[in-house]
Amino acid sequence: MERTGCAVVGGGPAGMMLGLLLARAGVHVAVLEKHRDFLRDFRGDTVHASTIRLIDELGLGAGFRALPQSRLNNVAVPVPGAGMVTLAAFDSLKPPYNYVAMMPQWDFLDFLASAAAAEPTFTLLMETEATGLEFDGGRVTGVRYRSTGDAADDVERVLPADVVVAADGRHSVLRQAAGMRAKEYPVPFDTWWFKIPRHPAEKGDVAGVVPSLGNRDAMIALNRTDYYQMGYLAPKGSDARIREGGVERFRQRVAALRPDLADRVDSIRSVADLHWLDVRLNRLRRWYRDGFLCIGDAAHAMSPAGGVGINLAIQDAVAAAERLAPDLRQGHVRTRTLAAIQRRRRMPTVVVQTVQRIMHRVVFVPLFAGTLSGDMLAGRDARTLFPVQRILLFILRHNPVVKRVLPRMVAIGPRPEHAPGFARPLTVPPPTKLGAMTSPTDTAVDTAAARARLLELIKELAVVRGKVILSSGAEADYYIDLRRITLHHEASKLVGQVMLALADDAGIDFECAGGLTMGADPVGTAVMHAAVDAGRTVDAFVVRKAQKSYGMGRQVEGPSVEGRKVLVLEDTSTTGGSALTAVEGVRKAGGNVVAVAVIVDRDTGAKEKIEAETGVPYLFAFGKDELGLA
């Protein structure tokens, strides 16, 4: 190739998804993968619920479900005296995205590659190893590479590109070439992967990730068609000791953790069959530089704890594609666009890594130190009657909030991404600029279509450019008049569907929706009608700026909010003042405010102020960067 718009290095889930999405945007994109094929053992093989939803939004659901796979409906751990204790029940989530798919990663990558190959602007370069970056002054202008195939001439070449994206994993060559250094967090364990055969009687379509806790070690088993993929966990720095102990000693460790597999540990022929994974947990302070971006493990290596690294990387790719595509169409990627991608994905990364670090300290550190055992969790260890781990296990088993949130955290993630409008196939001809869209229904595909159409309408109708004075007194170069949207014959219905889905994606359960008159009035009504269309009951309400001095003397009008879960709405917020007034009024009326949600966030500090003063989450459907205002 002489040149490409985007050069993606690394043909893993993040790299292949980014390549597919950009190609659907009509952008010339090349994915460089150093191996001959995707057929490599001991890679993450989970496809999470939010990724499955993304695949449906891309119109690839039928093909995906035809691939060999099984469904993981929950994550459970064996606790002596208590049997299998479920930590995350995915089947409690809303169908059809109430499971995690288990499939060999090579099948998933082949599937994405086939879908991308249908796009004329997509190129996949196998047996092509990236060796470094090409610079022009301080800007990255391309990637250096060489062929690794049988006919390789070992000549280093350069592929010029408008932007280079490193999706080449935790040991990223390009990250190092860009002079980036990640902050490392301590990890107490490493993992050794190997295979154990499955007997014919054990073969079936039941998915499972079966963990076993031992004395200073642990093991997980992932079901495969003809074998179990086993992961042995031991303290970090144990690789030399394990290998020096020899294969027989390792077989004994496996048999002790899984006595039911003791009859086949001889299939581990030597310690050479053990594939060591140096577990890392780190994060770049800055994921980008001019012309260059890191995503996935190249930006933030994840621990296997929770098994969410692949999903997080794919979500990075979606956010990157949505923001890169407009710049790439113009032939120049702005540094502020790269910064916007990091801003979008930093929060979910920090949240997930924080949870993993807590898991390391609470579970793995005491496990490998010998101070945590199955007997302790079951309460039979006399050394302590109320260990922290036992209390946490009780909370996981019995707290309804945790039981609802934890499956969402694992299967969906803290900030799931939807397919950009340009990547979604349409079953009907694309709408004209202001043409009507077919009525949305309560499906993920239609929700994504509604979101894309609403964004199009906001850009067309609501964004007014020019010097204006905002209600806060500040001067701005643009104004967002969302009443042109909330009172629009087509957009109003889309507002209801998008805001309802926004709350659902965040795990927010509510019974009433409304806010300060008058900006929030049509938003609350739209959400109420969208809920009715979805077979749900949500009442709308209106909050006056002050309590009436006559009549019933109410500040909150409409059905009573007393004792009910309330979602406070606003069309957009600059200082957060309107939403704060609404929250105060609802609470005075006895309502339980569970979140504040706006259609458009102007990124002017409202989120931080509202969350700090109310103690509830602040949600928004669109950021100003999505409106081209970043």
Instruction: Determine the length of the chain.
Output: 630
Amino acid symbol at 539:
D
Q: How far is CA 13 from CA 111, 163, 381, in A?
A: 11, 19, 44
Relative to beta strand 128-136, strand 139-147 is: antiparallel
How far is it, in rounded angstroms, from Cα 355 to Cα 305? Answer: 9
Instruction: State the DSSP string of 368-383.
Output: HHT---HHHHHT--TT
Number of CB atoms found within 10 A of residue 407's CB: 25
How far is it, in rounded angstroms, from Cα 273 to Cα 264? Answer: 14
Torsion angles phi and psi, residue 237, rounded to 5: 90, 10
Q: How far is CA 338 from CA 318, 321, 324, 402, 623, in A?
A: 13, 11, 8, 35, 15
How far is it, in rounded angstroms, from Cα 355 to Cα 184? Answer: 16
How far is it, in rounded angstroms, from Cα 151 to Cα 282? Answer: 37
Burial (CB count <10 Å: 0-12, 13-18, 19+), residue 133:
buried
CB 34 within 8 A of CB 127: yes
Residues forming a β-bridge with 569 = 597
Structure tokens at 130: 């990236």
Closest CA to 48 of 100, 116, 93, 88: 100
Number of CB atoms found within 10 A of residue 461's CB: 15
Residues forming a β-bridge with 422 = none
Number of CB atoms found within 10 A of residue 542's CB: 20
CB 296 within 8 A of CB 167: yes
Annotated binding site for 5-phospho-alpha-D-ribose 1-diphosphate: 544-545, 548, 570-578
Helices 13-24 and 105-117 pack at an angle, to 10 degrees, of 20
Annotated binding site for orotate: 574, 602
Q: CA-based Rg of the chain, rounded to a whole angstrom?
A: 26
Residues forming a β-bridge with 278 = none
Instruction: Give the single-character DSSP code of 436.
Output: P
How far is it, in rounded angstroms, from Cα 171 to Cα 559? Answer: 57
Write the CB contacts of 446 (distance below 8 Å, at least 6 apart in sequence): 440, 497
Annotated binding site: 544-545, 548, 570-578, 602
